[in-house]
């Protein structure tokens, strides 16, 4: 099965999908293989595409948890890991944490994204207390409008998640244990973020620092 949410809605809560979901799967199927990816990137991802779209329209990008670390993993590598997990008998009952070859801070990912799309934007660090207050207001707006407004911008739970690093734990099983070589972020981002450059696919100017 494949589960994952960016925003809570109804019964689809973070606790139900991740913590309780893993426990329930293991209780019902002891040989189940659990895969925990960091940020997944690829052509239609909801991370780099989202912020690149924001950079095309806004002079500044708010960054909650600028120092929080991530280990982005390529969607094709995740797909290969799923195949290998199903094909290898020794994977039964194991948990694998999937991350790419490099670790980046949130601010570092934004700088890399901006360099890829050849745009200069101000990265505005947003302190956690401020972010939590803004998220509370957006969550409240969703509540009082009875779901007519859906908070897809920033939730209180997302702020909580951004306080924690999202990287492969020390000693955890990972891509290498499934025979998958991790793909670098730098080798893939230009192949689909080019459309956010000032001149789209025709913009071949030198990457901006």
What global pTM score does this model have? Answer: 0.84
- 75-88 tens-digit pLDDT: 999 999 999 999 99
* Model pLDDT, residue 209: 38
- 118-158 tens-digit pLDDT: 999 999 999 989 988 988 888 788 787 776 777 677 887 88
- 98-120 tens-digit pLDDT: 999 999 999 999 999 999 999 99
Cα gap 154→162, rounded to integer Å: 11
**Among the listed residues 29, 38, 76, 96, the one whose alpha carbon sits nearest the alpha carbon of residue 183:** 76
- Asked if 113 and 189 count as a contact pair (C-beta separation under 8 A), the reply is yes
Cα 60 to Cα 30, 40, 118, 195: the distances in Å are: 48, 24, 15, 19
């Amino acid at each position: 099965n494949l589960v994952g949410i960016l925003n809570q809605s109804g019964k689809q809560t973070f606790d139900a999908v991740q913590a309780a979901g893993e426990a329930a799967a293991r209780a019902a199927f002891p040989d189940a293989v659990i895969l925990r990816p960091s940020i997944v990137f690829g052509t239609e991802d909801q991370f780099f595409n989202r912020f690149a779209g924001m950079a095309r329209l806004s002079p500044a990008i708010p960054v909650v948890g600028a120092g929080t670390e991530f280990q982005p993993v390529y969607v094709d590598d995740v797909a290969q890991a799923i195949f290998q997990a199903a094909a290898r008998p020794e994977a039964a009952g194991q948990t694998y944490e999937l991350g790419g070859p490099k670790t980046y801070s949130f601010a570092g990912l934004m700088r890399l994204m901006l360099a890829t799309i050849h745009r200069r934007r101000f990265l505005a660090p947003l302190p956690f207390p401020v972010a939590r207050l803004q998220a509370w207001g957006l969550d409240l707006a969703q509540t009082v409008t009875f779901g007519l407004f859906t908070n897809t911008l920033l939730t209180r739970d997302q702020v909580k998640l951004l306080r924690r690093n999202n990287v492969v734990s020390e000693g955890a099983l990972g891509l290498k244990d499934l025979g998958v070589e991790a793909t670098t972020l730098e080798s893939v981002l230009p192949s689909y973020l080019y459309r956010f450059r000032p001149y789209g696919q025709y913009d071949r100017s030198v990457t901006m620092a």
